Amino acid sequence: MKGFDIVTKLKKLFAGLSVKNFIGLTIAGIINALGVSLFLSPLGLIDGGLSGTSIFLDKITPAYLVLSYFLIILNFPFYLLAHKKIGKVFIVYSLFGIVIYSLTAFILENVVEYNYAVNGSPIVGHDVLLAALFGGLLSGVGSGMTIRFGGALDGVEVMAVLFAKKLGMTLRNGI
């Protein structure tokens, strides 16, 4: 009987979650991190929302406090706020997406051996216009995909989903 309880609890825990969504969220988190880490952050450009605040804090704090830490720390309270209002599935997807985004940003900025401060973006160098265009495009695509697959990468996006739900609007089916 005890084994049956565990299976039942696991089914209940993972009810409503989809492998397809986790794959989409993985791709979305990587795309967003590429936009921020390879284009915006190296040239000192600031993204919107709490991601932008994280980039700013990354620039003004000691080296051991990195972008990926701020992404998780600043967004976490918004996910707690939304847990009861939106639901467990949204929170699981959102937290998964932000972990992928943060992990990818951490790898790009701290593991890959490239001096962003001196060389600028590895793709567009020091061209601010191209960095803003490509970074904004990738960040927007990543955020849009995250919402499409049931989550949100930024606390501001979480608030948008909350307000949309409160007003009876939908950002995508299922949210």
Domain membership of residue 13 (yes or no) is no
Domain membership of residue 23 (yes or no) is yes
Q: How many CB atoms lie within 10 A of CB 61?
A: 12
Question: Which position has the higher pLDDT, 169 or 170?
Answer: 169
Concatenated DSSP letters of 137-155: HHHHHHHHHHHHTT--SSH
% the chain with pLDDT above 70? 93
Q: What does the alpha-carbon distance between residue 153 and residue 7 come to, in Å, rounded to a whole number?
A: 31
Q: What is the pLDDT of residue 48?
A: 83
Residue 92 scores a pLDDT above 60:
yes
Domain membership of residue 108 (yes or no) is yes
143 contact partners, CB below 8 Å, separation of at least 6: 28, 32, 152, 153, 154, 157
Domain membership of residue 102 (yes or no) is yes
Domain membership of residue 92 (yes or no) is yes
Domain membership of residue 6 (yes or no) is no
Phi, psi at 121, each rounded to 5°: -70, 135
- Parent domain of 83: 18-166
Instruction: For the full predicted model, state whether its pTM sits above 0.85.
Output: no
Domain membership of residue 11 (yes or no) is no
Domain membership of residue 172 (yes or no) is no
pLDDT tens readout for residues 98-136: 889 889 988 988 888 888 778 888 889 899 999 999 999
Count of the separate structural domains present in the chain: 1
Closest CA to 105 of 30, 21, 54, 175: 30
Q: What is the pLDDT of residue 72?
A: 79
pLDDT tens readout for residues 13-60: 677 899 999 999 999 999 999 998 899 888 888 888 887 888 788 888
Rounded to the nearest integer, the mean pLDDT of the chain is 85
Burial class for 144, CB neighbours closer than 10 Å (0-12, 13-18, 19+)? middle
